[in-house]
A and B are shown apart, each in its own frame.
Chain A
Amino acid sequence: MSDRRLNLLWFIVPVIAVGILLVGLWPGDQNIEDPEARAYNLSVSLKCPICAGESLAGSQTDLAKDLRAQINEEIAAGRTDEEIIDAFVAAYGEQVLLDPPSTGWGVVLWAVPLGVLAAGLIAIVGLRRKDRDPAGVKK
C-alpha cells in the first residue's frame, strides 16, 4: 500500500468508527432491564443478614435463598428497586446495605479518598522541576 493510501486509511477508519458509535450509542429509549438482571443486581448490593460478610447473591444459606426468592416475587409484583431496598432496610436495618448511603457517616467514605486524590495531585505537581533549564531538555 502506498503512503498516500495509508494516510487515507488513517482518516477513513476513525471517521467510520466514530460514525457507527454515534449512531449506535445515541441515547434512545432506556429499555427496561430484564427482571433477572435486576434481581441479581439487588442481591449483590444487599448483605445476607446472618452471614459473615457475604451478599445475598454469594450466600448458600437458606435465609439467603428465601430472600432471593422474595426479591424475585417483589420484582414480579411490579415494585421498583428503591421500594425493595427500603423494605429490606425496614426489616433488617441499615447494615444490609453493601452500598452505604452517602449521607451522614457515608460522606466520610467518599470524602477521605477524594482528599487522598487531591493530596496526590498536589504532590505530583510539586515534583515538577523548578530550575527549569530549557537547554537541558532534549526532545
Chain B
Amino acid sequence: MIALAGYVSILVALVSAIALTIQGWRISRTPNPDPGRLKIPAIGLAVGGVAAFSLLEIGLLTHDFSIAYVAKNTALATPFVFLLAAGWAALAGSVVLWGLMLSVFTWLVWRSVKSGDGLGVLALSVMGVVSVFWFGLMATAANPFAVCTEVANGFCSATSWLPIAATAAPLDGIGPNPLLANHILMAVHPPLLYVGYVGFTVPFAFAIAALIRSELGRVWLDRTHRWSLVAWVFLTAGIFLGGWWSYEVLGWGGYWAWDPVENAALLPWISATAFIHSAVVQRRRSMLQAWNFVLVITTFSLTVFGTFLTRSGVIASVHAFSLSVVGPVLLIFLGLIVFGSFGLFAVRASAVASSPRLDSLVSREGFILLNNLLMTLFGFTILFGTLYPLLVEAFSGREVAVGRPFFDRVAVPLAFLLVTAIGVGSTAPWRVATGKVLWQRTRVGLNVGLAVAALSLLAGVRSVALIAIIGLAAFAIGNIVAFYFHQSSRAHHGDRSWLSAFGSTINNDKGFWGGQIAHIGFALAAVAIGTTSILAVRTEVPLAVGETVVVEGYCIQYLEPFSRIEPVRNVEGARVAILDADCSSTRVVLEPRLHEYPRFGQVITTPQVWTTWIDDVYLSIAALDADGMRLKVLIFPFQWLLWFAGIMIVAGGTLALGRKPGRRSPTSKQGDRSEHADV
C-alpha cells in the first residue's frame, strides 16, 4: 500500500516536472510571461517530492518489509535514528532525498518569480528538466518502492519494480551497513551535502536561462546570489561534518583521506568558492562575465559528477556502496549537461565576453583572480588525480593508484598561497593598490605574523612548514582585524560608543565582513591541519589490566575490560583512565570499543576521544584479548581548532547572506569605504 502510494507520488512529480519543462518553455516565449500558469506543475512537483520522501520514511519507520529497500536497509532492531537515516543511506533513498530538495527548491523559486519575468519562468523550465531526470530515475532504475515478491531463508529473494505486484514480506530486514549505523553523525552529514549539491541547481538554471535568452548582464547573478551562498554554506558544513564523522568513527584518527568520494564533495565546493569570489568581481567591476557562466556550469556538473562517483562504483572507494545501472544513467545525464551547457555557452561566447578592464594585478580584483587561478588549479588537479588511475588503466592496462602523498603535495603549497592571498587581497583596494596603501594595510599583519611565528618557535615548534603556515595565518588574520579596527574607528566619533561603532561596521557591510570571518576560518583551518598532521603523536602500546604507560605527558591506565550485548551488535571494550603525568589523579575515563555486527560478520573499531584546549587524546583498540590489549594512543594538538574553523567559515557565509542584493553600503560615497562594499 505504502509502496503503491509512494510510486504514484513519484509519477505525480515526474508528470509535473514534464509539464513544468514544456509549459515553462512556452510561457517564457510569450510577450508577458505569467508564472501563475505554472502553479499546478510547480505545486504538483513539490507535493510529489514531499510525498515520496514521507512515504519512504513511513515505510522505514513502520517496518514495511514488503518494500525491498526497507527490507534491505533496516531491521526490526535498528534504532530510530538509523531508521530515519536509512531514508538516504543507500542509493535509491538518497535519490528520493535529492528529489525532495529539488522539488521544494523549485517551488520556492516559482514563488519568487513575478509576472513578466521571462528569465525566471525559463529558469523554472530548466529546473523542470533536471527534475524530469531525477524523478525519471526514481520511476525506473532507482525505484525506492520496488516490492519484494519472494522470500527465501528469511530474505527477500526476488523483487518487482511494479508496486502492484503481489508482495511477500520477510519477517525481518537485513539492516543498515554497520559503518553507516555506528554513529549519529552519519545521519547528519549527507543531507547537508545534498542541500549544497541541489542548491546549485538554482544558479545553474538561471545561468542557462540567461544564456538562452541572451540576457547576459548581472541580473541572473544578483538573483541567484543567495542561493549560491546558501548552497555553499551547506556544502561547507557537510564537508566539515563528514570529516568529523570520519575522525570519530573510522578509528585511525584521520578526518580526510583524499578518497575519491571525499574529492567528489570537495570539487564542487572549490568551484563554488571560486564562483562566489568571481561573482563579486562581475558585480563590482563588470569583469569575468563569461568566466562566471563557466564556473556555475562547472559547479553544477561537478555535483552530478560527485553523485556519479559515489553511486556508480567506477572508482574504488570506501564510500561506493552500490553497483547498479544508475551509474551509466548518471553518466549520460552528466554528458548531456556538460555538452549541452558548454555548447550553449560556446554559441553565445562572443556576446558573453566582457572587455578586458583589469587596471592592475595588484588590486582587490587582481587577488580574486589569483584566488580563481589557485582554485581552478586545485580543483583540476584533484579531478585529474582522481580520474588518473582510470585513464592509465584505459590506455595502458596498468593498475596505478593516486592517494594522499600526491594530493598533499599539491594542496599544501596552494594552501600557503591562498592564505597569503587572503592576507594581502582581503583589504586591498579595488582597481589599483598603490604601494603606500598596500603597506598601510599589511604592516600590522606583517608584524603580527612574524611575532607569532617567532613565538611558536620559542614554544617548541620545530617544523619550518608549520611555523610558516602559523605565521601566514597570523599575517592574514592580523590584517583583517586591523582593517576592522581601522574602519570602526572611522565610525567611532562624537558620542558614539566603540561597541556601536564595531557593530555598525559589520552591519553596514555584512557581505564583506561575512567573507572576512570565513577567511579567518580558512586561515585557522590551515593552521589546524598543520598542527594535527605535523605535531601528531601516534603510538601503539601493549597494556595489561592495571598497567600504566605515559605518552606525551598523559598517564594512561587500563582499568578493566567490559562487554555487553546490544540489539544489533556485541560490544567489547576497555575502560581506560587518563591521569596526570605523574599518574596520581584521574582526569577522565574513556571506553574505546570494538563493535561486532554478527549479521554482517564485521567488527568496527570505535575510538574515543578526550578533547582538551591543547590536545585531543584519541584511544582506539588495536587488539583485545583475555591477557590484555594493544591500545593505539594518538595525540592531535589543537584538533578542536579545525572544527572551530569550520564553524567560523559557516558563520561567515551565513552572515554574508544578510547582504541586501544590489544595495551599496550607505557610506559608499565616502571614498575609501566604498572599496569593500558588496564583497
Contacts and interface: CB of A to CB of B under 8 A. Distances in A.
B539 A53 contact: no
B427 to A, nearest CB: 16
Interface of A is mostly: helix
Contacts of A124: 358, 361, 369-370, 373
A20 B454 CA distance: 6
A35 to B, nearest CB: 10
A83 interface: no
A97 interface: yes
Interface string A24-53: 110000000000110010001101000111
What's the interface size class on A, roughly?
35 or more
Given A40-B538, A58-B252, A45 B405 contact: yes
Contacts of B539: 36
Contact of A117 (B315, B377, B432): B377
Contacts of B384: 109, 112-113
Interface string B351-370: 00000111101000000011
Nearest to B388: A109
Interface stretch (B78-86, B234-242, B442-450, B562-570): B442-450
B45 to A, nearest CB: 37
Contacts of B434: 139
B453 A21 contact: yes
Nearest to A16: B454
A53 B254 contact: no
A108 B458 CA distance: 43
A14 B452 CA distance: 10
Interface in B379-415: 380-381, 384-385, 388, 392, 396, 398-406, 409-410
Given A17-B453, A53-B403, A109-B385, 13 more contacts: A18-B454, A21-B453, A24-B458, A44-B403, A52-B317, A52-B318, A52-B320, A95-B398, A99-B404, A99-B409, A100-B400, A100-B402, A129-B358
A113 B380 contact: yes
Report which residue of B450, B462, B539 has the largest number of chain A beta carbons within 10 angstroms of its beta carbon: B450
A53 to B, nearest CB: 4
A53 B392 contact: no
B254 A57 contact: yes
Contact of A60 (B443, B447, B538, B605): B605
A78 interface: no
B336 to A, nearest CB: 25
A54 B450 contact: no
Interface string A104-130: 010011001100110011001011111
B679 to A, nearest CB: 18
A113 B401 contact: no
A137 B398 contact: no
A13 interface: yes
17 contacts: A18-B454, A20-B454, A51-B318, A53-B260, A53-B317, A57-B254, A58-B250, A60-B252, A60-B604, A60-B605, A96-B401, A98-B402, A105-B400, A113-B377, A113-B381, A128-B356, A128-B358
Contacts of B537: 36
B447 A139 contact: no
The 6 A-B residue pairs with the shortest CB-CB distance in the complex, in nearest-first order: A98-B403, A99-B405, A17-B450, A17-B454, A95-B399, A20-B454
A100 B404 CA distance: 11
A129 B357 contact: yes
Contacts of A117: 373, 377
Interface of A: 10, 13-14, 16-18, 20-21, 24-25, 36-37, 40, 44-45, 47, 51-55, 57-58, 60, 65, 93-100, 105, 108-109, 112-113, 116-117, 120-121, 124, 126-130, 132, 137-139
Report which residue of B447, B539, B603 has the largest number of chain A beta carbons within 10 angstroms of its beta carbon: B447
Contacts of B257: 54-55, 58
Given A55-B404, A113-B381, A21 B605 contact: no
A18 B385 contact: no
Given A98-B404, A120-B377, A138-B431, A113 B447 contact: no
Contacts of B400: 94-95, 97, 100, 105
Nearest to A14: B450
B152 interface: no
A137 B432 contact: yes
Report which residue of B320, B376, B402 has the largest number of chain A beta carbons within 10 angstroms of its beta carbon: B402
B457 interface: yes
A101 to B, nearest CB: 9
A11 B257 CA distance: 43
A114 B631 CA distance: 44
Contact of B454 (A21, A55, A57): A21
B377 A116 contact: yes
B356 A45 contact: no
A52 B318 CA distance: 6
Given A21-B467, A25-B464, A129 B450 contact: no
Contacts of A138: 431-432
A24 B457 contact: yes
A47 B385 contact: no
B259 interface: yes
Interface string B252-272: 101001011000000000000
A20 B458 contact: yes
A93 B399 contact: yes
A94 to B, nearest CB: 6
B287 interface: yes
Interface in B531-569: 537-539
Contacts of A126: 356
B434 to A, nearest CB: 6
